Amino acid sequence: MKFGLDRLLADPALRKPLEGKRVALLAHPASVTADLTHSIDALVASGLNVSAVFGPQHGVRGDLQDNMMESPDFTDPIYGMPVFSLYGEVRRPTGQSMGTFDVMLVDLQDVGCRIYTFVTTLLYVLEAAAAHGKSVWVLDRPNPAGRPVEGLTLLPGWESFVGAGPMPMRHGLTLGELGHWFIDHFKLDVDYHVVAMEGWEPDAAPGYGWPADRVWINPSPNAANVNMARAYAGTVMLEGTTLSEGRGTTRPLELFGAPDIDARAVIAEMHRFAPAWLAGCTLRDIWFQPTFHKHVGQLCSGVFIHAEGAGYDHQAFKPWRVQALGFKAIRRLYPDYDLWRDFPYEYEFGKLAIDVINAGPGLRDWVDDALAESRDLDAVTGPDEAAWVAERGRFLLY
């Protein structure tokens, strides 16, 4: 199969509308061709006039580990073009940076989750392009989490940099498809094109979204593999808790734990409380000691989520529910556990981080309600998921 970037490079007819235009590129370390040439180098070599580069959260270089670490603007040392950060002094392209190009090519590897900030950056780019009369082309890439949909829909008033619009946590779209939805939903008047992939089969084994013949490169420092991408729609919620999500280990956002829990007891309680939610994955108790971040230097008892191997069922796996169930099990085993972390997550003040992540208090309320059963969360989440599946249908390109 071919990603959008590879198709653009291989077909002069696709590139022809870009001739004579100043072209900007929004990219990160995973923006590479099939032979692992970075898109900046490949596009310059193709003869396009690449006049500027933009970088999302974690930077064009992907060098900044943690959240809320801002990247500076700089000058590209090889080509001498300006590199503008969209996660530094600004989150939205400014008038000055918008004046450096005619067409922006967006070549970002996403992981299929509303909270992954590349989603919101795409919206901000589209809004700025509409305001300044610029064109936006998405060079489409796979959604490695595939087509399944899961989670509560963002509530009005809960928009943030990790919540661009009313979609569930796991949206099941590519960035190219999301661009079409953004334009329709927000009624944007912008010249928008998608260079679609060729041969992407999101329901096909073994990758179920990620093609087996493509190398995985971290789109952000803690997105180390496809297992992380599959689990992320659940494990990202750990960022709003006192539990470690594995930052400071080699497998972040694939596990959770803390020094003061018993992982085996947590897993047993998860199986007892909502066994159906654990279909499609395998849970394994582990020990780990973070070298930085939460519980640094402390021995933690943890749970590793395997969305891979013989026990993986792509359609059955529900990462958001699996992680919600982990929280519920801890709350049931340790009723007074200090679970929710209180800090301005992604610069959102006055709201608990777990609520910013879930774009509303519904998940936290369910975890903290001692009488709430699994069916109660299903009852409020199921209609949101069904409504999104129906709404997104007309934007599917594959």
- Collapsing DSSP to helix, strand or coil, 79 comes out as coil
Name beta bridge partners: 284: 304
Residues 168 and 78 grouped into a single domain: yes
The predicted pLDDT at position 118 comes to: 96
Q: Residues 226-241: what's their mean pLDDT?
A: 98
- Res. 64 pLDDT band, cuts 50 70 90: low
**Which residues does 397 contact at the CB level (< 8 Å), separation at least 6?**
140, 174, 176, 177, 180, 194, 196
186 located within any domain: yes
Residues 365 and 277 grouped into a single domain: yes
Q: What is the pLDDT of residues 140-177, one digit of tens each?
A: 999 999 999 999 999 999 999 999 999 999 999 999 99
Q: What is the pLDDT of residues 17-32, one digit of tens each?
A: 999 999 999 999 999 9
The predicted pLDDT at position 136 comes to: 98
347 located within any domain: yes
Average confidence score pLDDT of the chain: 96
Q: Residues 176-201: what's their mean pLDDT?
A: 98
Residues 267 and 119 grouped into a single domain: no
- Res. 88 pLDDT band, cuts 50 70 90: confident
The predicted pLDDT at position 164 comes to: 96
Residues 55 and 154 grouped into a single domain: yes
Residues 249 and 117 grouped into a single domain: no
By CB atoms closer than 10 A (0-12, 13-18, 19+), residue 329 is buried
Q: What is the pLDDT of residues 313-324, one digit of tens each?
A: 999 999 999 999
Residues 150 and 245 grouped into a single domain: no
Please calculate the CA angle 167-171-176 and round it to the nearest 5 degrees: 100
Residue range of the domain that includes 59? 4-220+391-395
Q: What is the pLDDT of residues 38-53, one digit of tens each?
A: 999 999 999 999 999 9
The predicted pLDDT at position 63 comes to: 67
187 located within any domain: yes
CA distances from 8 to 19, 148, 220, 324 (A): 13, 28, 24, 41
Which secondary-structure segment (H or E) carries 304?
strand 300-306
Q: Which residue has the higher pLDDT, 141 or 61?
A: 141
| Per-residue tokens: 50 | 């690449």
Rg of the chain, C-alpha, whole Å: 21
Residues 239 and 295 grouped into a single domain: yes
68 has a pLDDT exceeding 70: no
Sequence-separated contacts (24+) of 182-190 with Cβ below 8 Å: 182/122, 182/123, 182/126, 183/126, 184/395, 186/123, 186/126, 186/127, 188/126, 188/127, 188/130, 189/130, 190/126, 190/129, 190/130, 190/134, 190/135, 190/136
Amino acid in position 39: S
The predicted pLDDT at position 71 comes to: 77
386 located within any domain: no
385 located within any domain: no
| Per-residue tokens: 152 | 């509560």
Residue 306 is part of a domain; what is its CATH number?
A: 3.90.1150.140
Amino acid in position 30: A
Residues 212 and 261 grouped into a single domain: no
The predicted pLDDT at position 54 comes to: 96
65 has a pLDDT exceeding 70: no
Residues 88 and 165 grouped into a single domain: yes
67 located within any domain: yes
The predicted pLDDT at position 120 comes to: 97
Determine the Cα–Cα distance for residues 154 and 206; give it in Å rounded to an integer.
31
> What's the domain count of the chain?
2
264 located within any domain: yes
Residues 14 and 146 grouped into a single domain: yes
Residue 87 is part of a domain; what is its CATH number?
A: 3.40.50.12170
Residues 152 and 64 grouped into a single domain: yes
Residues 75 and 206 grouped into a single domain: yes
292 located within any domain: yes
Determine the Cα–Cα distance for residues 57 and 63; give it in Å rounded to an integer.
10
The predicted pLDDT at position 344 comes to: 86
Amino acid in position 205: A
Which secondary-structure segment (H or E) carries 302?
strand 300-306
Q: What is the pLDDT of residues 384-395, one digit of tens each?
A: 999 999 999 999
